[in-house]
């Protein structure tokens, strides 16, 4: 498992284990995610990849009967420590879900939602944040004339980009994406992929994907999950061209999964 | 019998039952209106009721009905919505929650006359308010709370969990998420619950007989001081509502025009409920459109 990087690590996962009740869902995970890189998590359904990404912002705590052991060090601070401030953590770590989930409010209010509640009241400052966030996701030109109309009136791909803008508006450092294109058509998917490549200049991205071509296209590092374990973690090019584990090879050549 | 025949029979029976309901409703409604509307006049609506002579109106009763409705909803809606939020968002599944739920359901099935007797015991006698608007409103609150809690809980639960997750993932606290995402999204459901509860308040007589009383003091509608004896806004005065008035004149009225007054009052009651529902729905959808930015 060798990786090459000049960047500093944002997440260091050490001996992470997670149980749903008595089911051991994540087993002894050890790997790191680096600043301004895209880390892809691939693997068959039920292998724990969504669970893993939800541990990074502790959304996993919403599920009853979950317990964890080990460490997840975010900027050298263990977030599994009980004293962690969830509000602060989730402000820094944005999350995008499988299906675009805008609030039933206007486009503007969706993007301004996080900053407003986190204390930004000035209209001018909010306007700037909204514009900047929508430009970041290449949605500004499509919606600038109808910022006050309903977000739910947008197309699926636009809704997903709006959700990304909403997450960016709180100025996060990391953006977690849980199969962000699985409900989208190929053109919208392409737009999101282009967006991810651009976003990594400013943000660190962890993306769960079902689609191996997608992982190969957009990520710098890839972790292959199987039955709750990380089978292989390395540079994306290497993992796809020269996998070191037989199971990785079987998976990426389509022999199972 | 094959399934196609069974299907046809079932469809026929259901359509038949639906028709019966519609016919009953239309029949009742038009009967009440046909009998009542000829008795409604401007002076009927604006003059106080009389005790012996013919020609009394329903001014005070009409005002009392709306005022008690207003006070009741002022107490019921916040309590009911907060209770619903608690049940949907905070209550952990388990024995205690189960117990609370049983209590709410039991409260919902209490006969209103029992609630009235309870009000008589507590508000009228023990606390010693006598017959008051606030006593009536609290009695009505008791039996409207369960509906309000139930409806609010369902409305909050039916908000897609993705929206709650989206908000929490932005670092928004649970309470802020409830306030800014769940309640606005649940608003139409909560409004429907409030309208249903209002209908019950309008129509209720039994619970008010012993709490708000059968009489109304002489009111001066120019007096807006809520602490004054003759002010209509005073919540510590007795207040006979329209429903109670209809019951009262039919059972113990000695005016010669009992039937005319009762019919007119019934029509006014029905129309008020209808008007109130339409208004509440219009207001609700306006507010909802404003929050959701939908056209």
pLDDT value at A6 more than 70: no
Chain A neighbors of B171, CB-CB under 8 A:
86-92, 114, 118, 170
Nearest Cβ partner for A117 among B163, B176, B291? B176
B240 inside domain: yes
pTM (two decimals): 0.83
Burial of B103 (0-12, 13-18, 19+ CB in 10 A): exposed
B226 inside domain: yes
Chain A neighbors of B290, CB-CB under 8 A:
none
The answer to whether B94 faces chain A, any CB pair under 8 Å, is no
Tell me the ipTM for this assembly: 0.88
Domains of chain A: 9-252 (3.40.50.300)
Chain B neighbors of A86, CB-CB under 8 A:
171
Nearest Cβ partner for B169 among A90, A99, A148? A90
Residuewise pLDDT in 10s, chain B (295 residues): 789 999 999 999 999 999 999 999 999 999 999 999 999 999 999 988 888 888 888 999 999 999 999 999 999 999 999 999 999 999 988 899 999 999 998 988 889 999 999 999 999 999 999 999 999 999 999 989 999 999 999 999 999 999 999 999 999 999 999 999 999 999 988 998 898 888 888 889 999 999 999 888 888 888 888 888 888 899 999 999 999 999 999 998 888 889 999 999 999 999 998 888 888 889 888 888 888 877 6
Chain A neighbors of B181, CB-CB under 8 A:
103
Q: What is the mean pLDDT of chain A?
A: 92
Instruction: Quickly state the pLDDT bin for A63 (edges 50, 70, 90).
Output: confident
Number of domains in chain B: 1
Residue whose token pair is 């209908």: B199
Nearest-Cα distance to chain B for A96, in Å, is 8
Q: What tens digit of pLDDT does each residue of A190-226 get?
A: 999 999 999 999 999 999 998 899 999 999 999 999 9
- CATH code, domain carrying B270: 1.10.3720.10
B234 inside domain: yes
B164 inside domain: yes
C-alpha gyration radius of chain B: 23
B142 inside domain: yes
* Cβ distance of A113 and B294 shorter than 8 Å: no
Report chain A residues touching chain B, CB-CB < 8 A.
57, 59, 62, 86-92, 94-95, 97, 99, 101-107, 109, 113-114, 117-118, 148-153, 163, 166-167, 170
Kindly identify which residue of chain A lies nearest to residue B173, measuring between CA atoms: A87
d(CA A52, CA A42): 11
Nearest Cβ partner for B169 among A95, A109, A118? A95
Pick the closest to residue A176 from A104, A249, A254, A72 (CA basis). Answer: A72
B275 inside domain: yes
* Cβ distance of B168 and A117 shorter than 8 Å: no
The answer to whether B169 faces chain A, any CB pair under 8 Å, is yes
In this prediction, residue A13 carries a pLDDT of 95
pLDDT value at A2 more than 60: no
Please check whether residue B107 is in contact with residue B145, taking contact to mean a CB–CB distance below 8 angstroms: yes
Pick the closest to residue B244 from B211, B196, B197, B218 (CA basis). Answer: B211
The answer to whether B287 faces chain A, any CB pair under 8 Å, is no
Tell me what the mean pLDDT of segment A102-118 comes to.
93
* Cβ distance of B294 and A152 shorter than 8 Å: yes
Kindly identify which residue of chain A lies nearest to residue B92, measuring between CA atoms: A64
* Cβ distance of B171 and A90 shorter than 8 Å: yes
Nearest-Cα distance to chain A for B142, in Å, is 34
Q: What is the DSSP string of B124-190?
A: IIIS---S-HHHHHHHHHHHHHHHHHHHHHHHHHTS-HHHHHHHHHTT--HHHHIIIIIHHHHHHHH
Kindly identify which residue of chain B lies nearest to residue A58, measuring between CA atoms: B169
The region, left, alpha or beta by phi > 0 then psi within -120 to 50, assigned to residue A205 is beta
Domain range for B183 = 40-292
Residues contacting B196, CB < 8 A, separation 6+: B147, B151
* Cβ distance of A148 and B292 shorter than 8 Å: no
* Cβ distance of B184 and A166 shorter than 8 Å: no
What count of Cα atoms within 13 Å lies in the side-chain half-sphere of residue A70? 21
Tell me what the mean pLDDT of segment A62-75 comes to.
92
d(CA B208, CA B71): 14
pLDDT value at A11 more than 70: yes
Instruction: Quickly state the pLDDT bin for A257 (edges 50, 70, 90).
Output: low
Chain B neighbors of A99, CB-CB under 8 A:
162
B7 inside domain: no
* Cβ distance of B167 and A103 shorter than 8 Å: yes
DSSP A123: H
B131 inside domain: yes
pLDDT value at A142 more than 90: yes
* Cβ distance of A150 and B162 shorter than 8 Å: no
Kindly identify which residue of chain A lies nearest to residue B89, measuring between CA atoms: A62
Nearest-Cα distance to chain B for A180, in Å, is 13
Chain B neighbors of A91, CB-CB under 8 A:
170-171
* Cβ distance of A150 and B293 shorter than 8 Å: yes
pLDDT value at A1 more than 50: no
Work out how many CB contacts closer than 8 A connect A with B.
81
In this prediction, residue B295 carries a pLDDT of 61
d(CA B111, CA B117): 10
* Cβ distance of B169 and A105 shorter than 8 Å: no
**Lowest pLDDT segment from A124-128, A153-157, B154-158, B290-294:** B290-294
Note the helical H segments in chain B.
3-36, 42-46, 59-85, 95-108, 112-119, 133-157, 161-169, 174-177, 183-203, 206-209, 242-252, 258-292
Nearest Cβ partner for A101 among B163, B176, B294? B163
Chain A neighbors of B163, CB-CB under 8 A:
101, 103-104
Please check whether residue B82 is in contact with residue B88, taking contact to mean a CB–CB distance below 8 angstroms: no
Pick the closest to residue B259 from B15, B94, B36 (CA basis). Answer: B36
Q: What tens digit of pLDDT does each residue of B28-46 get?
A: 999 999 999 999 999 999 9
């Amino acid at each position: 498992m060798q990786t090459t990087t000049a960047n500093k690590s944002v997440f260091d996962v050490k001996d992470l284990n997670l149980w749903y009740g008595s089911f051991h869902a994540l087993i002894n995970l050890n790997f790191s995610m680096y600043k301004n890189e895209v880390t892809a998590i691939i693997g068959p359904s039920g292998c724990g990849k969504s669970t893993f990404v939800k541990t990074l912002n502790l959304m996993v705590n919403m599920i009853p009967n979950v317990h964890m052991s080990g460490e997840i060090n975010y900027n050298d601070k263990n977030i599994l420590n009980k004293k962690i401030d969830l509000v602060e953590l989730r402000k820094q770590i944005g999350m995008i879900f499988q299906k675009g989930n805008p609030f039933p409010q206007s486009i503007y209010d969706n993007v301004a939602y996080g900053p407003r509640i986190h204390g930004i009241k000035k209209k001018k400052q909010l306007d700037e944040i909204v514009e900047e966030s929508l430009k970041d996701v290449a949605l500004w030109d499509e919606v600038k004339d109808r910022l006050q109309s309903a977000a739910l009136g947008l197309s699926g791909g636009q809704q997903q980009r709006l959700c990304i803008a909403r997450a960016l508006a709180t100025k996060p450092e990391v953006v977690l994406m849980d199969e962000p294109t699985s409900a989208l058509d190929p053109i919208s998917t392409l737009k999101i992929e282009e967006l991810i490549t651009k976003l990594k200049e400013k943000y660190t991205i962890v993306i769960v994907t079902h689609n191996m071509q997608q992982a190969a296209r957009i990520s710098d590092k890839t972790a292959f999950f199987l039955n709750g374990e990380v089978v292989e973690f390395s540079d994306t090019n290497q993992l796809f061209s020269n996998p070191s584990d037989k199971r990785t090879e079987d998976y990426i050549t389509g022999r199972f999964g | 019998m094959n399934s196609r025949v069974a299907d046809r029979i079932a469809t026929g029976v259901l359509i038949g039952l639906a028709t019966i309901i519609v016919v009953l409703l239309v029949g009742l409604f038009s009967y009440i209106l046909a009998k009542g509307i000829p008795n409604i006049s401007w002076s009927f609506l604006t003059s106080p009721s009389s005790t012996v002579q013919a020609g009394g109106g329903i001014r005070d009763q009409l005002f009392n009905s709306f005022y008690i409705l207003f006070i009741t909803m002022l107490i019921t809606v916040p309590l009911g919505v907060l209770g619903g939020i608690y049940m949907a968002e905070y209550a952990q599944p388990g024995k205690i929650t189960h117990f609370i739920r049983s209590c709410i359901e039991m409260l919902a099935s209490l006969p209103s006359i029992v609630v009235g007797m309870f009000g008589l015991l507590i508000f009228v006698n023990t606390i010693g308010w006598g017959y008051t608007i606030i006593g009536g409103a609290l009695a009505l609150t008791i039996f409207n709370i369960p509906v309000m809690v139930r409806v609010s809980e369902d409305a909050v639960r039916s908000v897609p969990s993705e929206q709650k997750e989206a908000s929490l993932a932005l670092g928004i606290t649970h309470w802020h998420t409830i306030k800014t995402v769940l309640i606005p999204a649940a608003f139409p459901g909560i409004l429907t619950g409030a309208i249903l509860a209002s209908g019950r308040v309008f129509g209720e007589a039994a619970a008010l007989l012993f709490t708000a009383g059968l009489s109304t003091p002489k009111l001066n509608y120019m007096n807006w001081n809520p602490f004054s004896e003759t002010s209509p806004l005073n919540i510590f005065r007795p207040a006979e509502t329209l429903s109670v008035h209809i019951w009262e004149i039919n059972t113990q009225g000695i005016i010669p025009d009992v039937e005319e007054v009762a019919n007119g009052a019934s029509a006014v009651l029905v129309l008020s409920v209808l008007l109130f529902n339409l208004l509440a729905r219009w207001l609700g959808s306006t507010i909802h459109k404003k929050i959701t930015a939908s056209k």
